[in-house]
Structure 1
Amino acid sequence: MPEEHEPMPSPAQQRLWFLQQLAPDSPQYNVFRGYELRGRLDVAALRRALGALAERHVALRMRFPADGGVARAVVSGCPFEVELPITDLAGESGWESAATEFARLWSSQPFDLARDDLIRAHLLRVTPELHVLLLCVHHIVIDGWSVPIIDEELGRLYEGRPLVEQSADYLDYARWQWELAGSPSAERVLAYWRRRLAGAPELVTLPADRQRPRIQDFRGGQLARTLPTEVTATLRSFAAAHRVTPYTVAYAAFAVLLARVARATDLVIGVVVAGRSRPEFAGTVGFFVGTLPVRMDLSGDPSFAAVLAAAREELFDAYDNDLLPFDVLVDRLALRRDPSYTPLVQVIFQMLVTRAYGSETRWGDLGARLWGRDVTQPATRFDLEVHLLDQAEDDMVMEVCFNADLFDEKTVAGLAGDYMRLLRALCRDPDRPVSEAYAQLGGGERQVWVSIRDEQGVLVPYGVPGEVWLDGTPTRLLGRMRFGGTFEVLGRTDAELVVRGCRVPAEPIERALLEDPSIAAAEVSAGDDGELTARLTAVPGESRPTRGELRARLRRRLPGFLVPGSFVWNDEPSPEPPIPHALVLTASDLHDPDQPNPDPDLDLDLDLDRPEPGRPERDAAGLDEPMVFFVVTEPPGEAS
């Protein structure tokens, strides 16, 4: 038996080992690769090539037993053999579906990190001249950068062609990482991140289909969308014209979309780095990949050109300070841990140049094509991961992994479509405010944001059935609802007030008061306690309505929480004590069912099973929670 030795696992490997212990029977970190091989296959040569690949890359020979609850690494010596069982499929007719189903089941078998070899292979024989090679490797010894290395070297080793000798291996990288963790450079990097992340939000909250589970279980979903050729061409040409990379443009556009979806202007977005800043590791298979938290400020409704410039600087600064692995950074920053989400970063954005499925190379006499697009084991430790795969000159694929406990695929598909439309709009007119580009997502619809809470002030979960009615003007707010709880309305208007944390417009209240012939002027304001007060100027010689008459009249026209608690005539010495308002409303508070709908032509488009995302506000006025998003379409005959 080949000799084994025990080096130190890298910090990244220790983190992944710990995460695997949380769900030891899960295939969440299984990485699959398939090859369709056409021609006369030399099975013995393929076995030798697999063994030689593992002997060349020490990470592929590592195992990770526990020692007192901490991972240690064991490396098998050489020669090393990768087993290659063979399964015959029933002829060429319908082989793809049979092979896909076999590969899906085979690749879903979990690894025992302590005992198993962490590279597996299986060969499917369709005909004497058609085979499918299946590889499955645990993520703890491989990353995305490593996959094309395996693609190329496996073919060369099968042909018997020599490979360039490596100057460093993964064990050198692990030692370097531990040395960095205690170096002065690490302290400098840590100081940068402390400054940059001071006061950063700990959670980016996206409008989800379900409440977040108390403990994250990494159950994922996945979908892929090919970007339209026009969008890809626009991205490339815009990047060239502005002398930035397509990745920077794509990232900046994603930040704009995320700000709208999360209804926040202060965001931390995770970007993926290869972790191979030293050139000797460029051709090494192993787990190098890392995550960097990039903070974005989109306050003040900037132009896309301004967002792009900020994104460029933030990305450069982050890459200049990428020495510490993500989990080491989280530990050193002493961030609060919550088992329901990952600390600091919940959303990931990445762009990769990669080969497309179906692309073919030669392994000697064999034609080798990448195979197995539909063989996936979707899992994610993040809420959302967006990967742009640049596969050819005019072909780009958006691959999205999402937390299946939070989102339905339909919701994520809508988000992917929004991203493509927004990317096109931002690149076409980068100098206008980003808020104007949001119209591309709503088809010119008028937008109103609504936050709905229960009687205890807790946000009602997304997907709770309900109904809200608003009239066609953005400042008159009327409504009714079929669920109990607090109803807060944010109207899009220049004049706004805050009532118990709820932003409301003054104009409709003042306009309703001025319809009384005895009132010459009206000014509505909110006190420190959030209570509304109306200050009135009387028309000389006209009899004044009582305060009870004013309240009754306003309650017939406005939601109950827009009726002021006190009315003050400017020629009176002091106001009456305010009447406290409860924000728990009934249908009669919002709209008198006996009165006709003042705007029967209004069309309200609601989908509470999949609420539309929100947008960033100029001033959240203390409302940091996500808003359920409703779209009010324009009444017939009005311009959108």
Structure 2
Amino acid sequence: MLSINWPAWSETGMAVNHGVNIDMIFKPISTEDAINAFGSIIHKSVHRAIIGELDYESSMIEKLQIGLSKSIRGIINKHKNSLISNTKNIDTLADVVLKGRKDSDYTQAEIKAAKIWGNIFGLQEVNIFDNFYDLGGDSVFAMKLVNSLNKHLNVNLSIVDVLNYQSVNELGAYLDEKGLNNESTIELNDVAVLKRAEHKEFYPVTSQQKAIYLLYQRFPENISYNTPIIINIEGNPDIAQFEQIFRQLIKRHESLRTSFHMHKGVPVFKIHDDVTFDIKYSEAVGTPVEKIINSFIRPYCLEEPTLPRVEIVKTGLLNYTLMLDVHHIIADRTSVGIMLNDFFNLLKNNPLTEIAAQYKDYAEWQYSYYNSEAIKKTEEYWLDVFKGEIPLLDIPTDYKRPPILSYEGESVKFSLDEKLCDELNSIAATANTTINMVLTSAFYILLNKLTSQEDLVIGCNVMGRTHEDIQNTMGMYVNTIPVRSYISGDLSYKTYLDNVKNSCLLAYDNQNYPIERLLEKLDFKRIQNRNPLFDVCFNMMNIPDSIGSDKEISLQGLVIRPVDFENKTAKFDITLSASLSGNKVEMFMEYRTCLFKRNTIESFIKHYIEILEVIKDDINIRLNDILLKNDIAVIKYEAEDDGDFILD
């Protein structure tokens, strides 16, 4: 008689049917592997067997109470040694001077937390009573703090924790109260562990990449996921030197030499060791720059290595246009900044620091996390948020929505002046939040005024870099997560702002969950001409660039400055983006031209600014009392009429 113990099956059986195809020690087994293993075991002289692939990342494997061969024990030890980051010694961080107490008596938790705060905020002195927001903290700083605290203190804090305990004093007390600072009593935080991926032909795409790749398969000519950067150069650039630098970058960042494929019905990516890269050079003196740019931006073939495209065009005697394009599937906005920063450092002959991890390490970590017990809590959060009927935003449009999605778009730029920004920052300080939340809440209010809907879902971008070791790694990490908000006209703005803040922070804390899995769990019925869950987005682009639109770099006899241009695409019906620029906020509203006229979008922007002006004067105003000076009346689309917005 032969008795076999099986782990959970990944493709069939009760475990899959009930959503519990996970195991504490073994990875889920495929049907093909199970059949092959069964065929092998029946020819062996054994009466009892356990068939499965050990999950070497599991914290439970050390507690396994069965005999293991020396070879398997050796593999376990090898995996332990391959961890990119376990708990990193906090002594490697720069020391800071603590202030705030006359007797200079600080707890160990305060000393450790202060070192991390100083490292994140770039401070040499830390007052333990200084407030997170007063130091300029926002969601990006909060995520960096969480990553660093979890790594260096071996804990599992959330963004909500950091923002609930907003000073070193409060955070230190919280760590002591929960016993989280007693390293000897804490098991390793598995979420904070990243290990080096083994070399293999294919790696699983991340959830961020999967969404883009599946869309690419439907619309291979779509250029809305191109991320072009245009730079003007005055002087005589050494093109051979530029070419050599980009080759160094391609060697340094594996993402820049990656191709995408379907393997056994599953999307995967492949890293190429040897690739050919050249900068294209041409001369087009007298040709409009816009025409040059438009001819440069073209679709990618993702089945080929997604190298950066670089072209230099001579447009004058000592004038050149450098055009750089990378596909969003291999580089988010932060990654483009990393690449530019590396480029300029190499141009200055500055050495680059070693990269702690590559994107494949993150991809393997995410795959393991998605098949672990840890994801269950996050899944419960999202299923609770989207229980019941999911609202479909019924925003009025100028034109009838086409039967399939169109990605042609334009954008309208505007800015919030220094005076208004100061007043909005004051509101944020009063409400114990950031200007990001003020701008987001005002956008919800605008949508409510346009649609009269009280249940709204918008997409919000998060950096997605939830581990400290991938902060300087190129790849596609950014997530657009759905944030649901309920508006009641009887609420005061201050109360509603707090509601938006709480909804956003909880969504940020649970960002490590694949939206496509959520759609499957919800049995969501896709609509061909709609995005799933949301059609509008708010994006706070508070990520510093190496060369922003208002910056200029002079080196090696060259003057380098960015070229402001409009990439005429739109991923969603409307995306409102904001970025801090000195004491002002620069904003733009991107929109689908198949749905809206430009003057309609301009009227939306006008009403958005009206809302900001109202709330900065009275934070306690009822939402029903926020009245727009020009109410929007809409002529509904009819077959003989394209429809239009009319300002009464």
- Relative to the length of structure 1, the TM-score reads 0.66
Residue 186 (structure 1) aligned with residue 387 (structure 2): no
Quickly say closer, same or farther: Cα 1:69–1:404, change in 2 above 3 A: farther
| Partner Cα separation in structure 2 for residue 178 and residue 462 of structure 1 | 48
> Any idea what SS the aligned residue of 1:173 has?
helix
**Cα shift at 1:325:** 2.8
Question: What are the residue-to-residue correspondences of 1:367-386 with 2, within 5 Å?
Answer: 367-371=559-563, 373-380=564-571, 382-386=572-576
Quickly say closer, same or farther: Cα 1:463–1:224, change in 2 above 3 A: farther
**Counterpart contact for 1:208–1:462, Cα < 8 Å:** no
**Counterpart contact for 1:156–1:363, Cα < 8 Å:** no
Which one-letter code corresponds to 2:565 in the other structure?
D
**Counterpart contact for 1:32–1:375, Cα < 8 Å:** no
- Cα deviation, 1:552-602, whole Å, max 9, x if unaligned, reads xxxxxxxxxxxxxxxxxxxxxxxxxxxxxxxxxxxxxxxxxxxxxxxxxxx
Quickly say closer, same or farther: Cα 1:219–1:4, change in 2 above 3 A: farther
Q: Which shifted more, 139-148 or 359-368?
A: 359-368
> Any idea what SS the aligned residue of 1:367 has?
strand
| Partner Cα separation in structure 1 for residue 514 and residue 200 of structure 2 | 27
> Any idea what SS the aligned residue of 1:13 has?
helix
Unmatched segments (≥5 aa) in structure 2: 1-198
- Equivalent in the alignment of 2:355: 166
**Cα shift at 1:48:** 1.0
- Equivalent in the alignment of 2:577: 387
Quickly say closer, same or farther: Cα 1:171–1:128, change in 2 above 3 A: farther
Give the alignment partner of residue 255 of structure 1, picking from 444, 466, 469: 444
- Cα deviation, 1:73-98, whole Å, max 9, x if unaligned, reads 121115x44320111132xxxx5x72
Give the alignment partner of residue 397 of structure 2, picking from 204, 208, 211: 208
- Cα deviation, 1:161-185, whole Å, max 9, x if unaligned, reads 2111011111111111111212222
Which one-letter code corresponds to 2:296 in the other structure?
W
**Counterpart contact for 1:123–1:134, Cα < 8 Å:** yes
Which one-letter code corresponds to 1:176 in the other structure?
W
Quickly say closer, same or farther: Cα 1:128–1:155, change in 2 above 3 A: farther
> Any idea what SS the aligned residue of 2:582 has?
coil
- Cα deviation, 1:537-562, whole Å, max 9, x if unaligned, reads xxxxxxxxxxxxxxxxxxxxxxxxxx
Quickly say closer, same or farther: Cα 1:332–1:220, change in 2 above 3 A: farther
Residue 73 (structure 1) aligned with residue 269 (structure 2): yes
**Cα shift at 1:200:** 4.5
**Counterpart contact for 2:406–2:592, Cα < 8 Å:** no
**Cα shift at 1:69:** 5.4
Q: Which shifted more, 328-337 or 242-251?
A: 328-337
- Equivalent in the alignment of 2:493: 304
Quickly say closer, same or farther: Cα 1:184–1:116, change in 2 above 3 A: closer
* Root mean square deviation, CA, Å: 2.4
> Any idea what SS the aligned residue of 1:439 has?
coil
**Counterpart contact for 1:66–1:114, Cα < 8 Å:** no
Quickly say closer, same or farther: Cα 1:611–1:49, change in 2 above 3 A: same
- Equivalent in the alignment of 2:290: 100
Higher helix fraction (1 or 2)? 2
- Equivalent in the alignment of 1:137: 326
> Any idea what SS the aligned residue of 2:203 has?
coil
Q: Which shifted more, 80-89 or 340-349?
A: 80-89
Question: What are the residue-to-residue correspondences of 1:460-475 with 2, within 5 Å?
Answer: 460-461=636-637
**Counterpart contact for 2:250–2:307, Cα < 8 Å:** no
**Cα shift at 1:160:** 2.6
| Partner Cα separation in structure 2 for residue 87 and residue 44 of structure 1 | 14
Quickly say closer, same or farther: Cα 1:432–1:375, change in 2 above 3 A: closer
Quickly say closer, same or farther: Cα 1:346–1:113, change in 2 above 3 A: same
| Partner Cα separation in structure 2 for residue 462 and residue 362 of structure 1 | 56
- Relative to the length of structure 2, the TM-score reads 0.65
**Counterpart contact for 2:257–2:305, Cα < 8 Å:** no
- Equivalent in the alignment of 1:122: 311
Question: What are the residue-to-residue correspondences of 1:309-324 with 2, within 5 Å?
Answer: 309-324=498-513
Which one-letter code corresponds to 1:351 in the other structure?
M
Which one-letter code corresponds to 1:85 in the other structure?
K
Which one-letter code corresponds to 1:33 in the other structure?
I
- Cα deviation, 1:44-87, whole Å, max 9, x if unaligned, reads 11101111112111111111133465432121115x44320111
Which one-letter code corresponds to 1:376 in the other structure?
N
**Cα shift at 1:99:** 2.1
Give the alignment partner of residue 645 of structure 2, picking from 583, 592, 610: 610
Question: What are the residue-to-residue correspondences of 1:217-296 with 2, within 5 Å?
Answer: 217-296=406-485
- Equivalent in the alignment of 2:164: none
Quickly say closer, same or farther: Cα 1:332–1:362, change in 2 above 3 A: farther
| Partner Cα separation in structure 1 for residue 276 and residue 615 of structure 2 | 53
- Cα deviation, 1:590-640, whole Å, max 9, x if unaligned, reads xxxxxxxxxxxxxxxxxx62156xxxxxxxxxxxxxxxxxx4xxxxxxxxx
Quickly say closer, same or farther: Cα 1:217–1:348, change in 2 above 3 A: same
Which one-letter code corresponds to 1:368 in the other structure?
I
> Any idea what SS the aligned residue of 1:17 has?
helix
- Equivalent in the alignment of 2:137: none
| Partner Cα separation in structure 1 for residue 235 and residue 641 of structure 2 | 58
> Any idea what SS the aligned residue of 1:324 has?
coil
**Cα shift at 1:462:** 6.6
| Partner Cα separation in structure 2 for residue 388 and residue 347 of structure 1 | 14
Which one-letter code corresponds to 2:293 in the other structure?
A
| Partner Cα separation in structure 1 for residue 326 and residue 511 of structure 2 | 26
| Partner Cα separation in structure 2 for residue 20 and residue 346 of structure 1 | 19
- Cα deviation, 1:419-442, whole Å, max 9, x if unaligned, reads 112111112111111222223454
**Counterpart contact for 1:32–1:137, Cα < 8 Å:** yes
Which one-letter code corresponds to 1:88 in the other structure?
E
**Cα shift at 1:331:** 2.9
Quickly say closer, same or farther: Cα 1:326–1:308, change in 2 above 3 A: same
**Cα shift at 1:288:** 0.7
**Cα shift at 1:282:** 1.0
Identity within the alignment, %: 25
- Equivalent in the alignment of 1:578: none
Residue 13 (structure 1) aligned with residue 219 (structure 2): no
| Partner Cα separation in structure 2 for residue 250 and residue 67 of structure 1 | 43
Residue 198 (structure 1) aligned with residue 392 (structure 2): no
Give the alignment partner of residue 82 of structure 1, picking from 268, 274, 277: 277
**Cα shift at 1:318:** 0.9
| Partner Cα separation in structure 2 for residue 177 and residue 364 of structure 1 | 42
Give the alignment partner of residue 360 of structure 1, picking from 552, 560, 563: 552
**Cα shift at 1:375:** 4.2
**Cα shift at 1:364:** 4.4
Which one-letter code corresponds to 1:425 in the other structure?
V
| Partner Cα separation in structure 1 for residue 252 and residue 324 of structure 2 | 17
**Counterpart contact for 2:457–2:485, Cα < 8 Å:** yes
Give the alignment partner of residue 150 of structure 1, picking from 339, 354, 360: 339
> Any idea what SS the aligned residue of 1:65 has?
strand
Quickly say closer, same or farther: Cα 1:331–1:360, change in 2 above 3 A: farther
- Equivalent in the alignment of 1:437: 626
Question: What are the residue-to-residue correspondences of 1:425-504 with 2, within 5 Å?
Answer: 425-442=614-631, 460-461=636-637
Quickly say closer, same or farther: Cα 1:407–1:123, change in 2 above 3 A: same
- Equivalent in the alignment of 1:577: none
- Cα deviation, 1:94-117, whole Å, max 9, x if unaligned, reads x5x72221012211x111111253
Which one-letter code corresponds to 1:228 in the other structure?
D
**Cα shift at 1:294:** 1.2
Unmatched segments (≥5 aa) in structure 1: 453-459, 467-607, 613-630, 632-640
> Any idea what SS the aligned residue of 1:60 has?
helix
**Cα shift at 1:201:** 2.8
Which one-letter code corresponds to 1:84 in the other structure?
I
Give the alignment partner of residue 23 of structure 1, picking from 197, 201, 219: 219
Quickly say closer, same or farther: Cα 1:142–1:334, change in 2 above 3 A: same
Larger Rg: 1
- Cα deviation, 1:233-254, whole Å, max 9, x if unaligned, reads 3222322343311101111111
